[in-house]
Amino acid sequence: MNKPLSNPKLTRPKPRKQYWNEPTLGWYEKAFIFEIVRGLMITGGVFFSNMGKWLTGRKGALTAYYPEEVRADYSPNNRGRHVLTTRPNGEVQCVACNLCATICPAYCIEIVAAPNRAEPAHPKSPLRFEIDYARCIFCGFCVEACPEDAIRMAKEVPELPGFDRDAMWGKVDMLKGWQPARDPLKSYPVAAPATPPKAQP
Amino acid sequence: MMGDLLVHGLFMLYVIAFLMGMATIFTWVERKQSALMSDRIGANRAYIRIPFTQVKLVWMGLFHGLADGAKMLLKENFTPATYDRFCYHLAPWLVAVPVLVVFAVIPFGGALQPGHLFSAEWFPGLAAAFGDRSYPMQIASLDAGILFVLAISGIGILGTMLAGWSSNNKFSMLGAARAASQMISYEIAMGLALIAMVVTYGTLDLNQMVQWQQQGVWGIFVQPLAFLLFLTAAIAENKRVPFDLPECESELISGYFTEYTSMKMGLFLLSEFIEVVVISALVVTLFFGGYSVPWLTAGGFVFPGGGTWELPHLVVVVLQVLAFTVKVFIVGCFQIQVRWTLPRFRFDQLMDLGWKFLLPLAAANLVITAIVHWALL
């Protein structure tokens, strides 16, 4: 038969350690009114200081007006709007290989290739390069997939707000505008003198 | 006869415009004030474009209230699958109409003498038609003003209960039960606080209360405790935070008006803001001297030092109406400040506060007031 447990250590467990304070209210807190006045002083102080800022022409809020203002605290690594890098002559570097469109998980890049006979070194260039910003998830895969460093992502967000989803297409003209020649971090390689392909005998 | 009708019709028009306008402005004030209190900007995008131009009037988001109203009117008038047709449609009106009617007895200005408004040379017809007749600037100058306020504001409880019961929804039912118990509990404390004021002023007529304060001091200096009790109970009557248990979004969706849509819900929301105005008007009338401006009498300013500054009747009337409006606005802003500062009560805390704290205090206040009056007068 089991012996009755006589050891007090076994019958009565040690009191558990208590990690909180009992919520005790003194008469001061129970009267409500003093604490309410204290709370009103805090919120009123914030209100009047912000009101003073607004009245003296400063902004009494931490909010940035979204489309009108650009937040100053975007990280330099932020994956924002896409940029198509350009050669010194103003043409886009893209060779329309479709790697970015293939890897894009949102299927939002659309490229139509066209031959570019004027430049024998890069005989293929995009006729259309469009990004559907209504679908883009800003994952940055296109930037990593590009073999030509033709697409990058700037830290600013695209100018999206609008009333029409169909207007949220990033066309080439909107995407252009990053000249690696002017980028000190990743400058455009100095081009070797172009050698025309040898004519077949 | 026609003159009486005209003057009273103008009073009614003014009161309805005042209530609706102030309620709309308070929806804007609530947005902006809460935004400023929490370092935000607040609603500022709705605008009115002047036709045929590209001029967009934003005015600090003042038109968001209009946009809200238009939205409410244009929304689908959805009704639940099973509901009590008559009570369901009656409830919003039972909530919205009493808060409008309460204002009938609140004086928003002193005595108006239309014959003396403009000089008799400019408007001889006006002076001839009205003579020396004087109208108190309130819709109904009832002897039983305070009793009328209590009686009519009690009807609002019926509206909330009907709304909750008739929409055949358990959340609505819970909200309505909470609303009923809360409003009835706090009505007792509010009534006792008001009776102390009646004992102090010796009258039930709100206009005479204002005149008592004009000759003496404001009611808040005579009865500070009654002011606190009345304001607390009135905010609880209005079912706003910290007493918004009947419509707490986190638990009861929207409480008793969960099943209401479009303008029927808009009536509930609008009546809440009208009630803010009405409560402010009552507080101002009872405790802050109503329309009275310090030292301003019917003839002009009479300063205690002995100086006088005579003013025409028109200026006096405008000053009094303006003073009432400004006081109501300030008290309403204070209510909104309270609403955005305090967290919500638990329901047992709410009942404790009403029955164990406010009611004994109000009763004690009444007894002390009565003893003091019996001993001194």
Question: How many whole angstroms separate alpha carbon B69 and alpha carbon A70?
Answer: 33
CB contact under 8 A, A39 and B38: no
DSSP state of B125: H
Within an 8 Å CB–CB cutoff, is residue B39 touching chain A? yes
Average pLDDT for residues A121-136, to the nearest whole number?
Answer: 84
Average pLDDT for residues B120-130, to the nearest whole number?
Answer: 76
**A163/chain B closest Cα distance in angstroms:** 14
Domain-embedded: residue B48: no
Within an 8 Å CB–CB cutoff, is residue B250 touching chain A? no
Domain-embedded: residue B22: yes
Domain span including residue B21 = 2-42+75-376
**Range with the lowest mean pLDDT among A84-88, A175-179, B149-153, B314-318?**
A175-179
CB contact under 8 A, A39 and B41: no
Q: Of B36, B338, B342, which is closest to A47 when you measure between CB atoms?
A: B36
**A137/chain B closest Cα distance in angstroms:** 27
Within an 8 Å CB–CB cutoff, is residue A50 touching chain B? yes
Residues above pLDDT 70, as percent of chain B: 100
Question: How many whole angstroms separate alpha carbon B223 and alpha carbon B365?
Answer: 9
The most confident of A67-76, A125-134, B244-253, by mean pLDDT: A125-134
- Using alpha carbons only, give the angle B74, B78, B83 rounded to the nearest 5 degrees: 145
In this prediction, residue B365 has a pLDDT band, given cuts at 50, 70 and 90, of very high
In this prediction, residue A3 has a pLDDT band, given cuts at 50, 70 and 90, of low
Give the DSSP per-residue string, chain A: -PPPP--HHHHSPPPPPP-S------HHHHT-HHHHHHHHHHHHHHHHHHHHHHHTTS--SSPPPTTT---TT--TT---SEEEEB-TTS-B------HHHHH-TT--EEEEEEE-TT-TTS-EEEEEEEEETTT-----HHHHH-TTS-EEE-SSPP----S-GGG-EE-HHHHEEE-GGG-SSSPPPPPPPP-PPPPP-
Give the DSSP per-residue string, B308-340: EEE--HHHHHHHHHHHHHHHHHHHHHHHHHHHH
Mean pLDDT taken over chain B: 87
The confidence score (pLDDT) of residue A194 equals 55
Domain-embedded: residue B67: no
DSSP state of B241: T
Q: Is B96 exposed, middle or buried (0-12, 13-18, 19+ CB in 10 A)?
A: buried
Domain-embedded: residue B249: yes
The confidence score (pLDDT) of residue A193 equals 53
Question: How many whole angstroms separate alpha carbon A134 and alpha carbon B1?
Answer: 69
A54 vs B contacts (CB less than 8 Å): 36
CB atoms within 10 A of CB B57: 11
The confidence score (pLDDT) of residue A181 equals 55
CB contact under 8 A, A40 and B337: yes
Q: Of B33, B41, B357, which is closest to A61 when you measure between CB atoms?
A: B41
Looking at chain A from residue 64 to 93, which residues have their Cβ under 8 Å from any Cβ of chain B? Answer: 65
Average pLDDT for residues B207-230, to the nearest whole number?
Answer: 88
The confidence score (pLDDT) of residue B137 equals 86
pLDDT tens, residue by residue, B51-107: 888 888 888 888 888 888 899 899 988 888 888 888 898 999 999 899 889 998 999
Question: How many whole angstroms separate alpha carbon B368 and alpha carbon B353?
Answer: 21
The confidence score (pLDDT) of residue A187 equals 53
Report whether B319 contacts B296 (CB < 8 A).
yes
Is the model's pLDDT at B216 over the cut of 90? no
Mean pLDDT taken over chain A: 78
Is the model's pLDDT at A189 over the cut of 80? no
Is the model's pLDDT at B48 over the cut of 70? yes
In this prediction, residue B278 has a pLDDT band, given cuts at 50, 70 and 90, of very high
B230 vs A contacts (CB less than 8 Å): none
Farthest CA pair distance, chain A: 108
- Which of A36, A41, A49, A66 best tests the B interface by mutation, with the highest count of B CBs <10 A? A36
Residue A23's Cα: distance from chain center in Å?
44
CB contact under 8 A, B228 and A33: yes
A33 vs B contacts (CB less than 8 Å): 228
**Range with the lowest mean pLDDT among A15-24, A131-140, A166-175?**
A166-175
**Range with the lowest mean pLDDT among A161-175, B18-32, B89-103?**
A161-175
CB contact under 8 A, B39 and A46: yes
pLDDT tens, residue by residue, A105-124: 998 888 888 888 887 888 88
Is the model's pLDDT at A192 over the cut of 60? no
pLDDT tens, residue by residue, B132-161: 788 888 888 888 888 998 889 888 888 888
**Range with the lowest mean pLDDT among A82-96, A160-174, B203-217?**
A160-174
DSSP state of B358: I
Q: Could you tell me the pTM of the whole model?
A: 0.80
In this prediction, residue A42 has a pLDDT band, given cuts at 50, 70 and 90, of very high
CB contact under 8 A, B33 and A33: no
pLDDT tens, residue by residue, A15-31: 777 777 777 888 888 87
What's the structural domain count of chain B? 1
Q: Of A40, A42, A61, which is closest to B338 when you measure between CB atoms?
A: A40
Domain-embedded: residue B65: no
In this prediction, residue B328 has a pLDDT band, given cuts at 50, 70 and 90, of very high
Q: Which value does ipTM take for this structure?
A: 0.84
**Range with the lowest mean pLDDT among A181-190, B177-186, B235-244, B255-264?**
A181-190
